[in-house]
Homo-oligomer: A and B are copies of this chain.
């Protein structure tokens, strides 16, 4: 066995054709595609550990993951080599960086950033069909912003987690939720150390109910306090969601703006 060097990858992908980040019994996962490419690169079985387990259809412009490669490999050769083996996949390695052997892409992350793109137009989008959630109604952004304030801070997010969520605690600290209008789109940007399963999609779904005027902003507080998944609105679809960045102490991120 050669001496190994751990590396941190930053990864962009189109989630459309995948069953999600994590390897599963059925269907092709991003993790699996990466592990196949890494095995070709290192000529041995190589595990890849990701920072965020994105669902089927969810995209990433700044996913992070670590893997171990022979210590004589350069960061450039790892990035170029993996991209070469991934040429037919909608997965791109944006950068590779040497990290110490104890570094863990999942557990060392101090911040994860997500973007949800809503497209509000009377007519469906042709060019961004699998990139945004299409809603024909105009949404009241100010009401959505008021509602989102009830979700910032440390709370029990039981009402906004998937029933199959495996996290031990439903308590999470939402650092910020920003909502802005960009042309026909509404962008919801959320930052937290970690998210519960489906938390971002469930929050978005409920904020859209507020934006449509079906719910008052204060209803979001009631839903949160109910600690009951049935209280919240339907989850937003996966194809509008993007993992945009993962932050580690003392590391620059190539996708942070």
Chain A residues close to B by CB (< 8 Å)? 12-14, 59, 61, 79, 83, 90-94, 123-127, 129, 131
Contacts and interface: CB of A to CB of B under 8 A. Distances in A.
Nearest to A127: B14
User: How many subunits of this chain does the assembly comprise?
Assistant: 2
Contacts of A83: 123-124
A91 B12 contact: no
A127 B15 CA distance: 9
Contact of A94 (B13, B59, B94, B123): B123
Nearest to A83: B123
A129 B90 contact: yes
Contacts of A127: 12-14, 59, 61, 90, 131
A48 B79 CA distance: 49
B131 A92 contact: no
A124 B131 CA distance: 18
Nearest to A61: B127
Contacts of A131: 127
Contact of A126 (B90, B124, B125): B90
A71 to B, nearest CB: 24
A129 B14 contact: yes
21 contacts: A12-B125, A12-B127, A13-B126, A13-B127, A14-B126, A14-B127, A14-B129, A59-B127, A61-B127, A79-B123, A83-B123, A83-B124, A90-B126, A90-B127, A90-B129, A91-B126, A92-B124, A92-B125, A92-B126, A93-B123, A94-B123
Contacts of A90: 126-127, 129
A61 B184 CA distance: 13
A91 B124 CA distance: 9
A78 to B, nearest CB: 13
| 5 A-B pairs closest in CB distance | A90-B126, A92-B126, A12-B126, A92-B123, A14-B126
